[in-house]
Amino acid sequence: MKGILFVVILLVLAMLANGQKIEDIRINRYADFAGTIGQSQGSLSASYVHNWKLWKKRKWETGFSLRWSSYFGTKTEFITAPARLARTNTTPFLIFFAGQRKETQDTLTVQRPFTNSVNLAINFGYNFSQKWSGGFNIDLIGFSFGRKSPAILTSNGEMQTEPSAKPASFNLLLTGDHDLGSLNSEFFLRYHLNDTWSVRAIYEFLFVEYKTSSVKQVAPDGTEVYRFRNKANTFGLGIAYHFKTIRYI
């Protein structure tokens, strides 16, 4: 066994010593920083992206990224989160087209929300030309932490103080209002300044979830609800540094 390992190491070393180094244009790796702003709220994000360019023309690309998203706002409204109370139809994917159940939705106004989320995301992109590309990405799974904040639960016209609402800690993409926690997604258009730097114009759709601890919504079916979701629509800019990927031939 040791002998085989020794031979493999020797072969790798020989390849590195004698092999020719070239840039691997099948891989697009970059570090990305973005900021977006919306009404009374905004976000900052940093991600490391690893995409593979697909097929012969390498116009399409897909891959994964690890993204840190920070969300902040002031007096932001979070509505009842569970899908069965938020939407008229809860069938996965069809839920996107379902109507809102206003009659069962209460509002939690979080005074000073601030959350941080670290999520694994999936990316899709298309390279229109050498300079221009576009794409979409969405968080899949991860965790969140952040600031506890006073909040006000408005339920059937009556207001109650929640002294310490806190961000939901577990994030999972389950489609639409089935989602758990805080998940970020972006549509973007990218312009490559040169081989190393690019800039992006971004439309961001960010789910953020806060949980109450002392006050709860009592749903018409008698269940208690303590999860509330904000869906932030924001616009912003990003900048990316592209790494060269070297391979040996």
Partner 1 sequence: MRWIIFIGLIAFFSCKKDLASTTPVMDNIDTTTADIKYDGSFMNGPFGSVSGMVKIYTEDQQYSLALINVVISNGPDLHVYLSKEEQPGQFIDLGKLKSTTGNQVYSITGTPDFSEYKYVLIHCQKYNHLFGAARIAQ
Q: List residues near partner 1 by CB under 8 A.
A: 74-75, 111-112, 150, 152, 158-161, 163
Nearer to partner 1, 24 or 77 (CB): 77
Q: How far is the CB of 159 from partner 1 (least distance, A)?
A: 5
d(CA 122, CA 139): 6
DSSP H helices in the chain: 2-18, 83-86
d(CA 49, CA 189): 16
84-99 per-residue burial string, b: 16 or more CB within 10 A, e: under 16? ebbbeebeeeebeebe
Q: How far is the CB of 111 from partner 1 (least distance, A)?
A: 5
Nearer to partner 1, 75 or 131 (CB): 75
Q: How far is the CB of 160 from partner 1 (least distance, A)?
A: 5
Q: Which two tokens stand for residue 213?
A: 């601890």
Q: How far is the CB of 109 from partner 1 (least distance, A)?
A: 9
Of the candidates 197, 30, 63, which has an alpha carbon nearest to the alpha carbon of residue 136?
A: 63
Nearer to partner 1, 161 or 223 (CB): 161
Nearer to partner 1, 111 or 185 (CB): 111
